[in-house]
Amino acid sequence: MKEKPLAVGIDASTQGVKALALGPDGVEAVAAVNFGKDLPAFGAPEGFVPDADPAVRRAPPRMWEEGVALALRRLGGEVDLARTGALSGAAQQHGLVLSDAAGEPLGPLAPIWMDRSTGAECAALDARFGAALREKTGSAATERFTGPQARKAAREDPARWERTARVHCIASWLNSRLVEGGDAPVDPGSASGQNLMDLSSREWDPEIAAFTAPDLPAKLPRIVPSDAVSGRLAPAFASGGLRAGVPVVVWSGDNPDSLLGMGCAAPGEAVASLGTSDTFFASMDAPRTDPDGFGNVFCTSAGGYMSLSCFTNGALARDRVRREAGLDWEGFDAALAATAPWDGRRLFLPWFAPESVPRVPRAGTAANFDFGAAEPARRVRALVEGQVFAMKNHAAWIGGRFSRIGVTGGGSKCAGVLRILADVFQAPVERLEGTETVALGAAMRAWSHLTGEPLAALAARLCRPALRVEPDPAAAGVYAEALAAHAAFERSALAGRP
């Protein structure tokens, strides 16, 4: 190997793949592949093949595999990948890929995290295990998780199930394709997104697995720590200078590696990812679970635990209120600057679409004032505060105060949103310099394996904030009152719904 080693991190996400090269002085290059643009023959421009049933969301596993190979080739055009000493990756969490013993997928399509077609399977798991499922695995029965998906696959096509040697989530399947022998283990970050793993022992729960599908315990991959080597790079991926035989550190899920790549993997640190959905995830010292059953608990890829709550009404709600108020994004931000914290004691529940936290199966917003008739600036403030109040109230079970909140996603560009987050949480809010946090998290694990540099030291060196917003203590009182009022308003709104 030449003087300066490289670690490569891959982010296999819904709409494409990113590959990132991390050297001794930081990120050297990033290459991207977009499924719609670069691999149109798979017919999945948005990352899934359109289906007549909106609950069904499936994608071709071969597209992910080709996407990874292409991203590595492109990265090889930017840096000399012969310097690579270790590689790792993270994939969209959950999903289900059934494979034979050599890792070949059984069938052209596999369900992804957006699939919502396992309601009957989740009901069966709930009826059998009740609250114990959430307490053991960290999540109530969840439609997109590998366990319910496997139960459905076994029921729908018993012959294929019989032929299945391995039941993979997307991360462990891609990891299997990448290594010699085609049979990779899974890390606790991915395994905790399956409704199958016991969070405290970090082993598959034999009773839950056996109930979920016939012979499932024998078909699941081994669980290994997130810093373990899963195998050696297969010759098929050796291109752009990358050498076959390079160690592949076990793949993880995108959320655990994003927490790492955001530099927020120490207990008490959290991330608010303000994208299509708003996702709030926080690092925890112990596996506490959400008594309401809305949030998920995963293992982190840094050896700890993390909460994850997904608020469906994120960017689309902000965009809708902005448009209806006749504002551009500058005007949206100016509206927040022109109004005071909890101005007029207004409360708004932005359930324009069915919501996951709290669970709201049918769309329908609610307000304690005439939302549609209110001045644009008041609507904008009530919306953003309503979103952040829900985030804070539904984070109460995580325990303690947050020492820092990292922000990412389109919404984090809006200064007014960051101000409200800092003041409601009474915690400093930081926006990072880099954007490829998932690929960076995976590359950090590979680098740590290669050099022995601890993850915390790497985070301190690589995850620098571009902007930090300190909380205003003067807003603490009004927001404490607002949070209590929001919780009561939400309870009464939920009680009045079917």
Q: For binding to ligand XUL (CB under 6 A), which residues are involved?
A: 13-14, 92-94, 113, 144, 254-255, 279, 296, 308
Nearest approach in angstroms of CB 310 to ligand XUL is 6
Nearer to ligand XUL, 190 or 339 (CB): 190
Strand-pair partners of 27: 22
Look at the block and give the residue holding tokens 């990756």: 89
Nearer to ligand XUL, 58 or 144 (CB): 144
Are the CB atoms for 242 and 72 separated by under 8 Å? yes
Nearest approach in angstroms of CB 390 to ligand XUL is 17
Nearest approach in angstroms of CB 255 to ligand XUL is 5
Nearer to ligand XUL, 90 or 380 (CB): 90
CA distance 90 to 83: 21
CA distance 191 to 171: 10
Look at the block and give the residue holding tokens 């030449």: 2
Nearest approach in angstroms of CB 80 to ligand XUL is 31
Nearer to ligand XUL, 164 or 296 (CB): 296
Nearest approach in angstroms of CB 296 to ligand XUL is 6
Nearer to ligand XUL, 99 or 255 (CB): 255
Are the CB atoms for 368 and 486 separated by under 8 Å? no
Helix (H) or strand (E) holding 407: strand 404-408
CA distance 239 to 370: 61
Helix (H) or strand (E) holding 238: none
For the record, the structure tokens of 230 come out as: 């899963």
Nearest approach in angstroms of CB 190 to ligand XUL is 10
Are the CB atoms for 49 and 129 separated by under 8 Å? no
Nearer to ligand XUL, 144 or 318 (CB): 144
Nearer to ligand XUL, 260 or 493 (CB): 260
* 3-state DSSP assignment of residue 457: helix
Helix (H) or strand (E) holding 242: none
Nearer to ligand XUL, 258 or 339 (CB): 258
Distances (CA, A) of 289 to 133, 140, 283, 496: 11, 10, 13, 26
CA distance 13 to 286: 28
Nearest approach in angstroms of CB 496 to ligand XUL is 29
Are the CB atoms for 301 and 93 separated by under 8 Å? no
Nearest approach in angstroms of CB 32 to ligand XUL is 16
DSSP for residue 251: P
| Residue 406, phi then psi, degrees to nearest 5 | -85, 140
